[in-house]
């Protein structure tokens, strides 16, 4: 089989989505499945939908177009603020977008009018992550301007947590976001339908005992795909953490000293002398590198230690055991490693557990309260 490759277990992705949605259903919280880490892979998007997500979200329009061309018709949101250069495509392929700039929203409205449609706008609020967001004190005035803009409709508000700062949200953050929704309603009239509290980093709060307040949506990528908490990296109870695996072929394996220094014994001539450490260890080279994935984000089989990586090679220590050349090593991936591997053209993607949705397969689960975004 082609190597390197990512093998994808759609059944585990489906199960993760279903588990989270059932847990959050009891809290009145819907789930938007985020597909940006998998480049909008249609089979993975379908697995999220099979698991019951209310809609999908991505940060790149080409990923959205990929899903649409594959026949995915559910609501899809542009989760990153649209670029001016992609306005027409955002209106054509996305039902909603997350925004922070009035100039962008005005252009979205103009593009929507040209296409004889209306586009939903969700306003991102700066809640301390210090990435994108409108300052809370400016939100109501900003929302009022949005409601007066032809071609767009104010859908809701949202916040980011633990993207730049690595700080998980607290109960008070969700209370504050809920109060901001009420302030917007008092200030400009329209009901704030969607209050999206963040992403996978919010799950400890969302699955806890605190009131969900007005927060009725989470945007989940890492938790569904990898079953891990973005802040701690720890597995989330009840979820599969092995839906993705990276396979790479062994291209060299031999015993080498722990260190091999070179010292010049005649600098004017440039001759070198090797000084060996006599403690030999089995060192293995894999045909995958930084061009293919984030090598430092790989997890290796028991007894295998990561040494380092270059653009095309990953070097591991296998102690006293050599690994046959031509064999493969299976590795787990963090979110950053997955994201790079899924976008790498030289890494094959192999899916397992695809369901037919033409009436012969299992019907998707329906959660009637879920807000479509």
CATH assignment, 9-226: 3.20.20.10
Distance between CA atoms of residues 125 and 183, nearest Å: 13
Distance between CA atoms of residues 302 and 329, nearest Å: 11
pTM beyond cutoff 0.85: yes
Secondary structure of 102-154 in the HEC alphabet? HHHHHHHHHHHHHCCCCEEEEEEECCCCCCCCECHHHHHHHHHHHHCCCCEEE
Residue 267 is predicted with a pLDDT of: 52
Distance between CA atoms of residues 78 and 64, nearest Å: 8
According to DSSP, the residues that pair with 283 across neighbouring strands are 254, 317
Domain boundaries, the chain: 9-226, 244-352
pLDDT surpasses 60 at 53: yes
Q: How far is CA 215 from CA 59, 66, 199, 203, in A?
A: 22, 30, 12, 12
Distance between CA atoms of residues 193 and 184, nearest Å: 11
Q: Which residue has the higher pLDDT, 357 or 81?
A: 81
Distance between CA atoms of residues 100 and 146, nearest Å: 11
DSSP per position, 297-318: GEE--TT-EEEEE-SS-EEEE-
Closest CA to 235 of 42, 19, 56: 19
Query: Among all chains, which residue has been given the structure tokens 């984030």?
Result: 294
Is the CB of residue 174 less than 8 Å from the CB of residue 139? no
Give me 201's structure tokens. Answer: 């980093």
Say yes or no: do domains 9-226 and 244-352 share a fold.
no
Distance between CA atoms of residues 293 and 346, nearest Å: 10
Distance between CA atoms of residues 180 and 175, nearest Å: 9
pLDDT band at 261 (very low <50, low <70, confident <90, very high): low
Is the CB of residue 198 less than 8 Å from the CB of residue 161? yes
Mean pLDDT across the stretch 350-373?
Answer: 57
Q: What are phi and psi of 11, to 5 degrees?
A: -60, -40
289-322 pLDDT, tens digit per residue, is 999 999 999 999 999 999 999 999 999 999 988 8
7-40 pLDDT, tens digit per residue, is 999 999 999 999 999 999 999 999 999 999 999 9
The sign of the torsion formed by the CA atoms of 57, 58, 64, 67 equals: negative
CA-derived radius of gyration, the chain = 24
Q: Which CATH number fits domain 244-352: 2.40.30, 1.10.10, 3.40.50, 1.10.1740?
A: 2.40.30
According to DSSP, the residues that pair with 308 across neighbouring strands are 315
Half-sphere exposure of 22 (CA within 13 A, CB side): 10
Mean pLDDT across the stretch 193-218?
Answer: 95
pLDDT surpasses 60 at 266: no
Q: Mean pLDDT score of the chain, rounded to an integer?
A: 91
Q: Number of helices (H) and strands (E) in the chain: give both, helices first.
A: 10, 18
pLDDT surpasses 80 at 360: no
Closest CA to 123 of 139, 110, 108, 107: 139
Is the CB of residue 251 less than 8 Å from the CB of residue 286? yes
pLDDT surpasses 90 at 361: no
């Amino acid at each position: 089989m082609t190597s390197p490759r990512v093998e994808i277990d759609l059944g585990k992705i489906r199960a993760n989505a279903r588990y989270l949605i059932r847990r959050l259903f009891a809290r009145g919280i819907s789930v938007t499945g985020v597909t940006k880490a998998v480049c909008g892979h249609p089979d993975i998007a379908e697995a999220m939908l099979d698991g019951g997500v209310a809609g999908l979200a991505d940060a790149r329009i080409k990923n959205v177009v990929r899903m649409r061309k594959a026949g995915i018709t559910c609501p899809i949101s542009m989760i990153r603020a649209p670029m001016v250069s992609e306005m027409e495509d955002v209106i054509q392929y996305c039902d909603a977008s997350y925004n922070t700039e009035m100039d962008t929203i005005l252009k979205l409205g103009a593009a929507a009018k040209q296409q004889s449609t209306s586009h939903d706008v969700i306003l991102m609020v700066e809640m301390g992550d210090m990435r994108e967001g409108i300052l809370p004190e400016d939100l109501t005035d900003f929302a009022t301007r949005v409601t007066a803009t032809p071609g767009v409709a104010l859908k809701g508000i949202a916040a980011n947590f633990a993207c730049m700062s690595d700080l998980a949200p607290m109960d008070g953050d969700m209370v504050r976001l809920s109060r901001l929704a009420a302030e917007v309603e008092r200030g400009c009239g329209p009901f704030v339908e969607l209050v999206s509290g963040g992403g996978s980093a919010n799950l400890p709060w969302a699955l806890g005992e605190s009131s969900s307040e007005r927060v009725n949506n989470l945007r989940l990528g890492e938790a569904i795909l990898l079953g891990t908490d973005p802040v701690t990296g720890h597995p989330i109870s009840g979820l599969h953490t092995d839906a993705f695996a990276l396979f790479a072929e062994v291209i060299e394996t031999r015993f080498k000293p722990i260190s091999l220094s070179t010292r010049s014994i005649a600098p004017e001539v440039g001759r070198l002398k090797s000084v060996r450490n006599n403690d030999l260890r089995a060192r293995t080279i894999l045909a995958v590198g930084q061009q293919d994935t984030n090598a430092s984000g790989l997890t290796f089989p028991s007894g295998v230690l990561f040494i380092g990586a270059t653009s095309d090679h990953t070097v591991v220590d296998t102690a006293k055991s050599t690994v046959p050349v031509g064999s493969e090593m299976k590795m787990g991936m963090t979110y950053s490693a997955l994201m790079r591997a899924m976008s790498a053209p030289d890494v094959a993607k192999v899916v397992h557990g695809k369901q037919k949705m033409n009436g012969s397969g299992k019907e998707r689960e329906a959660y009637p309260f879920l807000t479509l975004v």
